Each structure stands twice: as structure tokens, then as C-alpha cells.
Amino acid sequence: MSRVWNFSAGPAALPQAVLERAQREMLDWNGSGASVMEQSHRGKRFIEMAARTEEDLRSLLGIPADYAVLFLQGGATQQFAQIPMNLAGEGDSADYLVSGHWSAKAVGEASTYVRVNVAASSAADDYLKLPERSSWQLDPHAAYVHYTPNETIHGVEFHDIPDVGAVPLVADMSSNILSEPLDVSRFGLIYAGAQKNIGPSGLVVMIIRRDLLQRPGRPMARIFRYAEHAANDSMLNTPNTWGWYVAGLTFQWLHEQGGLAAMAERNRAKAALLYQAIDGSGGYYSNPIELGSRSRMNVRFSLYDGALDAAFVAESEAAGLIALKGHKALGGMRASLYNAVPLEAVQALTAFMQDFAQRHG
């Protein structure tokens, strides 16, 4: 059996070393004679693993002590609703920067719980670039500012952290967390669905400034309240034990790779290689995103003739390059270049693209 080069947007490729270790430990985890999925989250082994996993994430990202780390469920989508429930009180408003599909979806889910002020949007530009900074209408009294640093579908990415003054900044980092070093102290809350740069789906990693846990928010059941999850070490109910464990393996792997500075360098090189192949193709391939807004993680490209799309997808799959078909809303192609995708995969892709262009020129 041979592994393919996997460019899936998510659930996405995981490091092979992580999968192999999970495989080795499947039947007898940590000397327990059972898999990690088959034992209590209240047991000593699991609690030690959970603590180490949090420590490894804290050291990777340099998470300050006044931030709690939570391992939650429900996907990023559930957080779209839970964030306003927790951070906004009755009558409060929150600012949203809309730069693509996911930030627009976050607005939709939040609207039930908070008065949403779309402080900026690039919808009128078809999300081909980030909203112009000069157009942002931030409200200094907002409960928080929400944005999506990397738009997985539209392929646009913020390359610096927006300055929003004293209002807590909330970021959906589902598709770019751990791809580069991060100044966590600039944020009030960071959250990410795990299934791109962390591990399996069904797990959400959240980093939240502890003072925000004191906000009363809206009336809600305990299970929705972040403060309750924090007070119970993310074990208010049975957590996603498997997801938590695989996340821990990924964090250890990231340390072994040299940490986030090393990942940032690799990710930069991977994206540069693919964008060069697109831009240097004489128009055979193209990427529509404004240069300064291009994503390092999700690279969109179109063929000059859409009639070739089906052949491109079929032939790339036959060549062991999978999941290049673009999101159905946009068509074309998309290559996701998360941490677990090595430079070698991008080299294989760009070689295939050149060859395809020659054969179908």
C-alpha cells in the first residue's frame, strides 16, 4: 500500500509519523493493555496525557499563563454560536470582519445571540482580497471583534494581526493555527476545529483569556459555558478522547520538527513554489487573489479552460495527488498545504501541473 499526496482542505492529511505512532499504540496504549479510546478520561493515564498535550501546545505557541486552553467538541461551527452566547450580554453588539465563506457563516450563526455589526466586508469584491483597512467601521464598545485569519474556501489570509484597540479580538484559526509562530497575547479568544492542522474532526481547541471567562454572557445551559469547561479541565462531560490523544501526538511531532518557526519556513516555501508554478504558467493556470491577500494554506487555481477541469482531477488522482478539486461554490482547483503536507508533495504537484499543461496545451 502506498500513501498518496493529500491536498484535502479538511479533514486533511495528518503527519505520517503521527498515524504510525497511533497505529503502534492502538491495541496497547501506554502499557494499559487497551486502546486510548477504551478507557476512562478520568483515569491517571488519560489525565497525564491531557496535561502533557496542553503543556506541549502552550510551549509551541508560547501561551501566556492568563489564558486557559480548552479541548471542546461541536466543531468550529458550534463556536460561531457559542462565542456570542459567552462573550456578549443582552443588548450587546459585536464587530465582524467578513473576508469569505466562513466569516460570513460566523455572522449568520452569531446573529441569534448578538447584534452583529459587519465592520468590514470584501463580499462586493467576491472575497478576492481582504477588506481595505481604511473601510473598517470598528465600534470601540463592541463586545468583541471576530475575524477569520485564513479563509479556507476563498483562499485569502491576513498576514498580520489586526489592531482593534482594547476590544477583545476573536479569531477562527481552524485552517491556519500552528502554521507559524503567533503572539497569543494579541487575542482574547482563538479557536480552531482540529481537522486541518491538529488531528481528527470532532475536536475544537480553544485558547481564551481568563478574564473573558468571567463575562456572564447570555442565559445558557452549563454545557455551553466556557467557564464551566475551564473549571473542569475540559472534562465537564466525556471529551473526544481519541481526538485529544491524536492532537497530543501532533503537538509532539511539531516540537520534533523544530517548532512553529520551522513550520513557518516550510509553509512559506511550499506556498511560494505553488504560486510560482501558477504565476509562471503563462496563463495556463491562474490564481485570482490579490497578491497581498493570498493564503499560504489554501491555494486556489483555475485552468485557462474549465473544460479541462475533469481531466485535471482524474489525471492528478491517477498520479497519486488527491483532493485537488475546488470547493463546489467556486469550482476550479484548490490545494491545501497544511503542516502535514511536505514540500515533496508540492514538488510532485507542480511537476504534474507542468506535465499536464504540456500534454493538454
- Which of the residues are catalytic? 102, 172, 196
DSSP structural state of residue 147: E
Q: Cβ(94)–Cβ(114) under 8 Å?
A: yes
Binding residues: 42, 76-77, 102, 152, 172, 195, 237-238
Packing angle of the helix pair 343-359, 309-318 (nearest 10 deg): 130
Judged by beta carbon, residue 102 or residue 301, the one nearer ligand PMP is 102
Nearer to ligand PMP, 122 or 350 (CB): 122
- The least CB distance from residue 187 to ligand PMP, in Å, is 15
> In the complex with ligand PMP, which residue's Cβ is closer, 196 or 270?
196
Please report, in range form, the residues annotated as the binding site for L-glutamate: 42
Closest to 103 measured CA to CA, from 135, 138, 142, 151: 151
Nearest-Å Rg of the Cα atoms of the chain is 21
Phi, psi of 5, deg, nearest 5: -85, 120
- Between 121 and 350, name the residue whose CB sits nearer to ligand PMP: 121
CB 100 within 8 A of CB 107: no
Residue 296 beta carbon to ligand PMP: minimum distance, rounded to whole angstroms: 14
**285-286 and 93-98 strand pairing:** unpaired
Annotated binding site for pyridoxal 5'-phosphate: 76-77, 102, 152, 172, 195, 237-238
CA distance 13 to 320: 14
3-state secondary structure of 280: coil
Q: Least separation, in Å, of the C-beta of 172 and ligand PMP? A: 5
Minimum distance of ligand PMP from residue 102's CB (angstroms):
4
| CA quadruple 289, 291, 297, 300: dihedral sign | positive
**CA 245 to CA 329: how far, in whole Å?**
34
Q: Which residues bind ligand PMP (CB under 6 A)?
A: 10, 75-77, 102, 148, 152, 172, 174-175, 193
